Structure 1
Amino acid sequence: MSVFAALGTLLSWFADCLAPLFGASATAAAIVLFTLCVRAALHPLARAAVRGEKARAALAPKVAELNRRHKRDPERLRHAMAELYEKESVSPVAGCLPTLVQLPVFFVMYHLFSTGSGAGDLLDHTLAGAPLGGRWGGDLAGPHGAVYLALFVLIAAVAGWTSVRARKAAAGRPAPAGVPAGAARLLPLMSFGTLVTAAVVPLAAGLYLATSTTWTAVERALLQRTGREERAKGGARSSG
């Protein structure tokens, strides 16, 4: 059995279980449930990513000093940054792991609903009347425009919240090595790339993206708040 057929079978099973609650939109609900299961399985990686971000934040003064010292020699700066991260056992790409691991899952979902390979009758299923294998045609006033509008509004709201939090977190920190300051200021806007992607992929894949990005935003906020509370408690014990 191919991976596409396996995913199609799994979604069909989820949809059959959810049909009494969601009726014709059971497959859409199954996609949401499947996405939540994937993200729950990746939660340990997300926790590791947040720990890595905290470690990199702690190195910010040293990074700023290296940027100042080697600002005219980008190659030397890259070597110095690599040595610093290695010495402190900090991975500069740890925060990307949850996203990288998800890419194969998203590709399978995209392929399943783009080609129908292994999908069975899933392409005939809908969300509020909009075919899960269909794409937005650029018309929000069309018969399925409300479905796509709701999807885009959700993704845009999550992207906006993520962008604001990223800007606040980056305030006062040096730009990553090798990244111009102007480009670094644009990094928080990358979260809106999901909105562009959702506009061109099948509705099923867009639903996966919306669910996953919402999970990511909430998960990171909770993990970061938990970290702040733990640091505050640690500081209180030290002062006591």
Structure 2
Amino acid sequence: MFIHPNLAGHTNELLSQTPLGVPLGVPLGTSLLHAVTTGTAGLATGLVIRCLVLAIAAVGQITRRAFRITPVEGMPGVPVAMLRAMQFITAVVALFVPLAAGIYLLTTVTWTLGQRLVRRRVYG
């Protein structure tokens, strides 16, 4: 929904909305890659997307430390270093997708971490 400028023959108003409706905020349809290539990247855009990417990376780091991945638990034949780095791929993806999708990714990785922590506590 945050990629297409038109939905069902109407202008996609979601692209111009800002998180929490903050005036002069960064529109949800803004991606860092698009803003940089079109020359529309401002201080606010860089700051918001940088904070988002850092938050995703922080959750990835917490997940990596809380759940040490070993070759037995991971995918057989895949190096452990690659399995550990996969926690941070989401942060890299957030640089290329619209801000709304980046917020969704942050929500998803945070929710998943919470689920894993609860599951570990309940099931040991």
TM-score per shorter chain, which class? Answer: 0.7 to 0.9
Q: What percent identity do the matched residue pairs reach?
A: 33
Check whether the contact 1:166–1:188 (CA below 8 A) recurs between aligned residues: no
- RMSD, aligned CA: 2.5
Aligned to 1:18: none
TM norm structure 1: 0.42
Greater radius of gyration (CA): 1
Pairing 1:162-201 to 2, within 5 Å after superposition: 162-167=63-68, 169-170=69-70, 173=72, 176-177=75-76, 179-180=77-78, 183-201=79-97
CA spacing shift, 1:175–1:199, aligned 2, 3 Å: closer
Q: CA deviation at 1:120?
A: 3.0
Check whether the contact 1:158–1:217 (CA below 8 A) recurs between aligned residues: yes
Query: Please, which runs of 5 or more residues in structure 1 have no aligned partner?
Result: 1-111, 229-240
Find the aligned partners of 1:146 and 1:209 in 2 and give their Cα distance. 17
Aligned to 1:54: none
Aligned to 1:121: 13
Pairing 1:61-100 to 2, within 5 Å after superposition: none
Q: Structure 1: which amino acid aligns with 2:113?
A: A
Find the aligned partners of 1:213 and 1:141 in 2 and give their Cα distance. 27
Q: CA deviation at 1:176?
A: 3.9
Find the aligned partners of 1:176 and 1:207 in 2 and give their Cα distance. 28
CA spacing shift, 1:115–1:209, aligned 2, 3 Å: same
Aligned to 1:108: none
Check whether the contact 2:2–2:28 (CA below 8 A) recurs between aligned residues: yes
Check whether the contact 1:133–1:204 (CA below 8 A) recurs between aligned residues: yes
Check whether the contact 1:133–1:202 (CA below 8 A) recurs between aligned residues: yes
Query: Please, which runs of 5 or more residues in structure 2 have no aligned partner?
Result: none
Find the aligned partners of 1:211 and 1:176 in 2 and give their Cα distance. 25
Tell me the secondary structure at the aligned position of residue 67 of structure 2. helix
Q: Structure 2: which amino acid aligns with 1:145?
A: G
Tell me the secondary structure at the aligned position of residue 134 of structure 1. coil
Aligned to 1:89: none
Q: CA deviation at 1:121?
A: 1.2
Q: Structure 1: which amino acid aligns with 2:107?
A: T
Q: CA deviation at 1:144?
A: 2.3
